Structures are given as structure tokens and as C-alpha cells.
Chain A
Amino acid sequence: MGLEQFKNRNVGTQNYVKLDLPHPPKNGWCAFKQVLSRSLKPELFVGLWVALREMINALFRGQMHTTQYPLEKLPISPRYRAIHEMLRLLESGHYRCIGCGLCEKICIANCITMDTRYDENQRKEVSEYTINFGRCIFCGYCAEVCPELAIVHGGRYETASEQRASFSLFEDMLTPIDKLNLQQEYQGFGAISPNADENIKKTPLAY
């Protein structure tokens, strides 16, 4: 299933098709004629055939339409706000989070906390990071405010667990380094708009 239809956020321009339906009967005679013609047509068998055909397609031709949840999962809109993910830089594999603390500050459920420190490379390092998913209301502010697109909402919508804390540490949310090639760029709330380039004022650079 493609995601194109979700990416188009301009409501009203989708491909709606107007159906060509006959007019309803105008008087008693017309209604009587409609009943008569429908009764004499073999549509009952057409319906039976359709059901039989779909059963054959599903059972013998591998065209089953039922999703076998939880073995199968439907893809979800990028605007859906599920369990957070921490992204990495594609080039270096280093995590994107710079420890600016904006997500911690903006969080209205007050569920994000981080510890930072001065590391050996003279950089600010996030030494601990946690989200209390027992309190998180999945409002998406953290993803929206993140200047590095480091914290985003992923597609993991199943938040039932014995301990929701088990989702919550930095390493749990971080893209595994061996799955870096599978990391998807975030398209949801807070992502760069498609026309971002047009909105930027160029500054002179002498070098």
C-alpha cells in the first residue's frame, strides 16, 4: 500500500468519482415496474457467484484480503503518533539528539527527562534519556519542537505492556545501528515542509 494519498494534505483535490445512479421511481406505477424487473432478473445467482469466486480466489489463488493481525500489520499514516523513535544520522550513524532539552521543556505531560554531560570530545553528550510512557499523552510536541528531527513518532502503536517503562530508555527507542539502512525519514508533524527551501533567506558567504 502506497503512502502517496497520506502525503497529499490538501483536502478536496483527491480523486473523487461521481457515481452515475438512476433516478428513484417517481410514482406508484414506476415503483411497481422496478420491483417487477428486479424480481425477474437472476441477480441472486450473480451474488452467489461473486461470493463463490472470491472464496476460490482467497483459498486457492492466494488473494486473501484479511490481514492476519498480529502476524501482519497494516502500515500506518506518518501523522499517527505512536511510540517515539530516536533517529541516527545516516552518514555517521551517530545519534541525532544533541541534548538541547527542548523536548523535556515542551512536554506538557512532563514525562521526558534527560541528563547531559561534557564528554571527552568536548561535546554535549546525552548520558541518560527517558520517557515515562505511563504519563505520555502522545501529543507530538516533542517531535515538533526537535530541531534535529531526532525524536519522532514511529509506527509502534501497540502500547500495551506489563511495564510501559520497557519502551522508555534511549537505547530502546534508538534505531539499531545494523538497521540504519532501514531508517525512514520522518514525514509527520514537525517534519520539514516540502517547500522549506523557498522559505529560507540566503545569507552571504565569503568562503
Chain B
Amino acid sequence: MSEMEPAKNMISIKIDGVEYKAKEGEYILNAARANDIFIPAICYLTRCSPTLACRICLVEADGKQVYSCNARVKEGMEITINTPNILKERRAIMEVYDVNHPLQCGVCDQSGECELQNYTLELGVDSQSYAIPDTKRETKNWSSVLHYDAGLCIVCERCTTVCKDMIGDAAIKTTKRGGAALDKDYKATMPKDAYAMWNKLQKSIIAPSNGTDYTNCSDCGECIAVCPVGALVSRDFQYTTNAWDLKRIPATCAHCSSGCQIYYETKPTSIADRTEKIYRVTNEWNYISLCGAGRFGYDFENRVEGKDQEAFTKAVEAFKKAKVINFTSVITNEEALMLQSLKEKMGVKLINREARAFQRFLDFYSQASGNSLYTTDFKEVMATDFVMSVGTSLRNDNPNARYAFNNIQKMNKGAGLYFHPVGDNLVPTFGKNIEMFTHKVGQEELALLLIIDLFADHDKLPNSVKEQLDRDKLLEALGKDSEAFAKSFDKMMKKKESFSLMVGEDLYFHEKAENIAKLIAVLENSSSVKVAMIPPKTNSLGVALICDLDDEAEGYTIGYNALGDFRLSALGDGDLDMPSMNQQEGTLTNMHKRVTPTNAALEYHGYELNDIMAELISAPKYTIDWTPHLPVEKGFKSINFDDLPNEYKNDGTENRGYLLDTTTKEVGEIEVDKFDDSTVLDGEIAYRCNPQRQFNDFTNKAHQIFEEFGLYASKERAETLGKRVTVEFDNGSLELDVIVDERMDGDIVAVPDFKSAENIYELFGASRYQKVIIREV
């Protein structure tokens, strides 16, 4: 309940003579912002390390000039925001930024939402005192989505900072510009900070850090979001519209379980076609970072002409004779509740593979630990300084979990342990104190046992666990040398105070899921490690809580965005059209255990699930009328949809929807099974895992997501495989193109599941790993 927690360690400071409260150890700038006080600042990004590029956030604290973005508040500190000298510095800095900045504001994509313009006006720059010959700076396309106009760049380094400290790609850096040297006279005549800032600015420009013209990154576009000027824009958006023409619709991203807050920005398609179209997605980049799917995968709407009555009648008939409803986790809580009502009233069975696996795992966990839900959200994880990850391909499963892992290394001087059978060469670059455990498939329990051994209070452990704890043996089994590990672990543990663990989908789709859930409960009971779980898909958590899902079912099946005899589809390829996530209102339950509202960005003229409900059982007028009826006993609250907020506050508080209530009850001692090798896989293995930026059919429909459906393999492995292969499973086979994922390591190949038509879940069954035979075609 982080938002209800009483603020701890509050101290009082004085800003311009007025007393305010601030969190101890916070930067002056953040403390001022939390109190709604404005201090000019360009280069600073909340949640990232101070860059000190712009120097405009100068303030006077206790009589000394400091940069408010990297000076921390102290009890009784007296801060003056404007002194004559500081105003002189700030004005000179803005004049310098304006030197040689192209006067093409009329066509610039920032279209007035420009911090350079704003601060130039704010500081009253009405004349220019400085000059230097300009350098030719070329515009470049860095990737399939990124466009960089070096001429407009003011080298505030926000893009490089966010890429390094938050995203973890570090795909761009500052490099030499080759500009003229400053006139020596300026040193004596100019304000000091302005001169130092100009000296650095004149020498640098941003470029891909791999030395080529193209970035090797996950194309998340966060650099575009943070750019204060129009230097970085998406290639698709460039010159298509002005910011002021766009209507912003607050929503929740529906691609993965992180449920980020986004704005869909819409405008009529063209002069001839006045239907609204989404031009881009923006976010509150100071408080939440998006991934490439969220930012660029927005045009997955299902355009329909009108209500197709014939199809609707057929749909109602189909529902009347249906035995099974097969659906995915890309569904709102309200629709999940509708399906659950159908089950209760008409006795259909509900099938949702990913949510069912997660539901089982949550049940096992609750039985063992007594907690109704996992105890930690990812915000709390991000505040820890030692993070571990088991059973998730961080880079692909959930970008925000990956950002948290990276951010801990960069901002909290953190350390990390990464357990996963598929090697990854990006994660080790997040920080110096990261140990990679590329263990065998099926050894997830050993990873957890090792974590228990490392962090738990051994006196509190049940005997069934204690007897399995032999550190040397565990390390050996996980492929580490125990002496070397002991040494690096000692180094990692220095000055570490808080610990967290994130676990993912591998553990839910696991033969020994029950035992694993127990181990997690043991870890929580006996140590201070906070455990957060990553729900497999968008609203898996919501579905797992709301629906009473079935394991297997046979008979006439209705597929909702999934396979079935009668198909409801928001992709436009089914028997009856449904609105897609950007065309409907509703709530989603994200991995932070938060129920967040999303709004309709685009109009939809067809039938909704609620209309079918009205025919079959009774239904209220709108889908959102179901919102207050979400099951309170599962932690939901009885709040009307229209009363749910969707915003961030100035101090970074997430004021979106509400948090699920969790309850705790007493349970007895946990009995854990002994580990055996029966689940360990050897040989040729395929892993069910999507490429970055692909999560489901909807991301695949978006025109700026280019990742193909194919067999992803590390560079070395791809060379041995050839161009196109058949992958043979026990119960079927696939023919796929081989695609190199340069960030993968090792021999395991990844088969995506984002195309529901390919029925990948059927091939993999109850596990994310399967033994396969791969043959070149």
C-alpha cells in the first residue's frame, strides 16, 4: 500500500522564505517539484542520474550556489531560486542554447511544446550576445523508427541518460561534433557556468554508441519522448501533424502486464477522411517509461462499418449452444466478469491458458504463504538495491521489469542475479555487479534454493528446505564455480540493504509449479527479500482473479480473439467483430496489482460483448457499468468507472485507478518436495518467447512493429541452423524462418506465441520449454 504509507523521514526546508516538507536525502529539484514549486531545469530526468549538462537548475542553498538536480536537501536548508547572479547565468545559458539553433519552428515537430522555446521566453531572452560559426550537422535515421535531426539538438543528453539509466540499452552516447573552438574572450566576459556549458555543448553531439550509423537497441522510442526539442522524432510521425491538433486520450497500454499509462493522440485521418486516427502515443516520461510495443504498436483498431445484425444473431445462437469459451488475456476486467457470469448462469467452460497457469500458481502461493496475492509491486522493487530474476526472459517478457532491473543497477548502486536458461548478453551490461546463471531448463527450483540459502534466516526455514541447502552443490549444479562466486557475492553484498526478486512465466508453466510457489513462500517468510510476480500476458492477473478457469474442455467452442468454432475477433478476421483495446472503455489489472482505467481513443460502430450479454443474460447499458461489480472478495473495489483517476502527480505518485486489496491469513509450516532431475531437459530445446516489441496479434497488426514471426536464435546458433527450418514438436510441427537475435546467447531457440492462429500454446503444452527436432528446409 505504498500510496497510503505515512511519509517517512520528512524534513523541513525553506524555499524563498516559505517552509516546506521534503523527503530526506531527496534532490532539491525533486523536493521543489513535489511541493509544486518551479525551478527551471532541462537536462534532469526523474528516476535517472543527474547529467549536469544544462546547469540551468542553479539555486542558492545556504548561501552557496548548487545545482538543484544533484544537491540533496538537508534539515533546515534555506534555498533561494533566483538571485541576480543566478538569473544572469540562466539567461546566458539560454542565449547560448539559441546560438545557431535553426529558426524553423514553423515546421518543427515539437510545434511549440518545446522546452527551448519555453525557457527562452521564460527567461526573457530578447537579444543575443554570443556567436560562433555553425557546424554542418546531418539528419539521420538511426533505426526503423528513430529520426535524429542533429541541427535541432541542444545536447541536453536526456536521451542518452534515459537510454542508459532506465532502458538499459545505452545505444546512444555523446560524441565529437567537430565544432569551432570558443572565442577566448568569452571566458573572461561570460558568466562562468554558461561558458562551461557552452564549451561542452560546442564539442558534442549524439550518435549511436556502437560506432555505426544505426542504433542497436530495442526501439522503445523513449529517447523521442524525453527530447525537449524536435531533434528526435519517430520517422512515421515526422511532419504529419502539429501537437496542438492532437486530442489526448488517457489510457492504459494493453500489450503486456505492466499496464503503463499512455495517451493515445488522435486527429482526423486526412482532409477527405474525417474519421479519427491515432498519430502517436505519448507518456508521462518522468514517471513511466514505455517499450516499443506501447509507443509504436497503437494502430490495431478494428474498423467496422456498422452493426452486422446477421452475424450478431449467429453469435447469439453460437453462445446458446456453446460448451466452451476460449479467450486470451487481452481483455478488460469487465469483459472477464461478463464471461464469468456466463459460466455461472449458462455453465460454459472458460479456457485461457496463460491466465490459468498463473491462477494455479497464485493459488499454490496463497495456500503456502497465506497471502491472497504476491506482496510487492514493481515500484517497491525499483527502490531496492539488490534484485534477482528467476524464470523470465526479462528482455522479452516485460520491458518494465527489465527497466526496473537496470534502473536498480544504475541508480541504487545495485547488484543483481539473473537466472535463466536462455543466455542474454544485454543483462550483464546493465551494471558491474551482475551474476548471470545460465542454468539448465528445469533447474528453477535450484535457483530458488540458492536464493533461500543466500538470503534467508536459516533458523526460520522448515526442515524440508534446510536439508536441501548445500551451497557448493547448488552452485555446481547451476554451473558456477563456488569460490569465484563467493568472492563476487561478497563484493555484491557491500552496503546492500533491501532485496527483491522477480519471477516470471517459466515458473507458472512448470511441472513443479506447486513446489516452486512453496519455495517462494518460504523465501518470503524467512528473509527480507520482496517477491514480485510478472503476470504472463496483459490482463492475466485480472482474469485469474475474476474468472473461474478450466483446465481442459471439449465441445462447441467460441473463441474470443482466439481459436474456436465461432470466433469473436477484434482483429477483424472473425465471425463477429469486437472492439479492440483502443476502441473500448474498461479497466485492466496490471502487474503492480493496480486496476487502471483505459478510455476509447477511436470510435467503434459494431457490437460489443455487452450486447451479447444483454441477449443471453441480463446486462446493464454500458460495459463500464460492470466495473463496480468486480469481485470485492478478490481485492477489487466497488468503484464506478468514471470515478477512477488516471494521472501522475508532481511528486511522482501514481494516481491511477486503485490498488487491489490483499489479505493475509495464518498458515502452517510449508512442506517442500525434494528436488529431482526429472524435469531437467537436455538436447535441442525451444523456448516459447516473443521477440521484443511483439506481445500478441495486436502488436503484430501495428504497422510500425516489424519483428517477424520466426525462429529466434543467437548468432552462432542461427549459422548452424540455416535460413528456414521445420521445428518438430511431439504433437505437431512448424515451418519458420530463422531470425538472428543478437542479444541472445546459447543454443536454445525461441518460438514466438504472438500469433494466436498458430496455436503455439498447444505445441508447448504445460511448459515454456519443449524438446524439439529442428531440420533445415
- Measured CB to CB, the residues of A under 8 A from B are 98-102, 104-105, 113-118, 122-125, 128, 130, 147-148, 201, 203-207
Contact = CB atoms under 8 A, between A and B. Distances in A.
Contacts of A122: 139
B239 A118 contact: yes
B241 A116 contact: yes
Interface in B225-261: 235, 238-242, 244-245
B51 interface: no
A146 to B, nearest CB: 10
Interface in B263-312: 270-272
Contacts of A118: 235, 238-240
Given A99-B239, A101-B245, A201 B271 contact: no
B1 interface: no
Contact of A98 (B107, B244, B270): B107
Given A201-B126, A203-B128, A207-B133, A115 B106 contact: no
Nearest to B242: A101
Name which of A104, A105, A118, A201 has the most chain B CB atoms within 10 A of its CB: A118
Interface in B456-476: none
A207 B239 contact: no
A201 B126 CA distance: 8
B240 A147 contact: no
A129 to B, nearest CB: 8
Across the A-B interface, the 10 shortest Cβ-Cβ residue pairs: A100-B106, A203-B128, A204-B131, A206-B131, A124-B239, A124-B107, A118-B239, A207-B133, A101-B242, A128-B271
Interface in B494-527: none
A172 to B, nearest CB: 14
Contact of B129 (A113, A123, A125, A204): A204
Contacts of B127: 201, 203
Given A99-B239, A117-B239, 9 more contacts: A105-B244, A114-B271, A117-B240, A118-B238, A124-B107, A125-B239, A203-B128, A205-B131, A206-B133
B614 interface: no
Interface string B181-216: 001000000000000000000000000000000000
B242 A105 contact: yes
A207 B134 contact: yes
Given A201-B126, A206-B133, A130 B271 contact: yes
Nearest to B128: A203
Name which of A102, A128, A203 has the most chain B CB atoms within 10 A of its CB: A203
Interface residues of B, number: 26
Nearest to B149: A122
Contacts of B235: 118
15 contacts: A98-B107, A100-B105, A100-B106, A115-B271, A116-B239, A116-B240, A116-B241, A118-B238, A118-B240, A130-B271, A203-B128, A204-B128, A204-B129, A204-B131, A207-B133
Contacts of A207: 133-134
B106 A102 contact: yes
B721 interface: no
B12 interface: no
Nearest to B274: A113
A126 to B, nearest CB: 10
B133 to A, nearest CB: 4
Nearest to B147: A118
A98 B106 contact: yes
Contacts of B126: 201
A122 B107 CA distance: 11
B493 interface: no
A204 B111 CA distance: 27
Contacts of A206: 131-133, 183
B38 interface: no
Contacts of A102: 106
A148 B133 CA distance: 26
Given A98-B107, A99-B239, A128 B131 contact: no
B107 A128 contact: no
A199 to B, nearest CB: 12
A19 B107 CA distance: 58
A130 B270 CA distance: 11
Contacts of A125: 239
A130 B271 CA distance: 8
B130 interface: yes
A104 B244 CA distance: 11
A204 B271 contact: no
Nearest to A99: B107
Contacts of B240: 116-118
A148 B183 CA distance: 34
Contacts of B129: 204
Interface string B100-115: 0000011100010000
B239 A203 contact: no
Contact of B270 (A105, A115, A123, A148): A115
Nearest to B132: A206
A117 B131 CA distance: 33
Nearest to A147: B106
Name which of B107, B132, B241 has the most chain A CB atoms within 10 A of its CB: B107
B130 A204 contact: yes
Contacts of B244: 101, 105
A148 to B, nearest CB: 8
Contacts of A128: 270-272
B131 A203 contact: yes
A203 B127 CA distance: 7
Interface in B127-148: 127-134, 139
Nearest to B245: A101
Nearest to A127: B270
B129 to A, nearest CB: 7
Contacts of A115: 270-271
Name which of B106, B128, B131, B272 has the most chain A CB atoms within 10 A of its CB: B106
Contacts of A116: 239-241
B131 A104 contact: no
B152 to A, nearest CB: 13
A206 B183 CA distance: 10
A121 to B, nearest CB: 12
A85 B130 CA distance: 40
A67 B239 CA distance: 49
A11 B63 CA distance: 59
A124 B108 CA distance: 9
A100 B107 contact: yes
A205 B270 CA distance: 42
Contacts of A117: 239-240
A98 B270 CA distance: 18
B589 to A, nearest CB: 39
A194 to B, nearest CB: 23
Given A98-B106, A100-B107, A113 B271 contact: yes
B19 to A, nearest CB: 42
A131 B241 CA distance: 17
Contacts of B131: 203-206
A102 to B, nearest CB: 7
Contacts of A123: 107
Name which of B126, B270, B271 has the most chain A CB atoms within 10 A of its CB: B271
A101 B271 contact: no
A123 B240 CA distance: 11
A184 B129 CA distance: 37
Nearest to B134: A207
B265 to A, nearest CB: 15
A28 B322 CA distance: 115
B126 to A, nearest CB: 7
A207 B133 CA distance: 6
A112 to B, nearest CB: 10
A71 B241 CA distance: 44
B244 to A, nearest CB: 6
A130 B268 CA distance: 14
Contacts of B111: 101
Nearest to A100: B106
A99 B239 CA distance: 9
A207 B183 CA distance: 13
A125 B239 CA distance: 8
Contacts of B105: 100
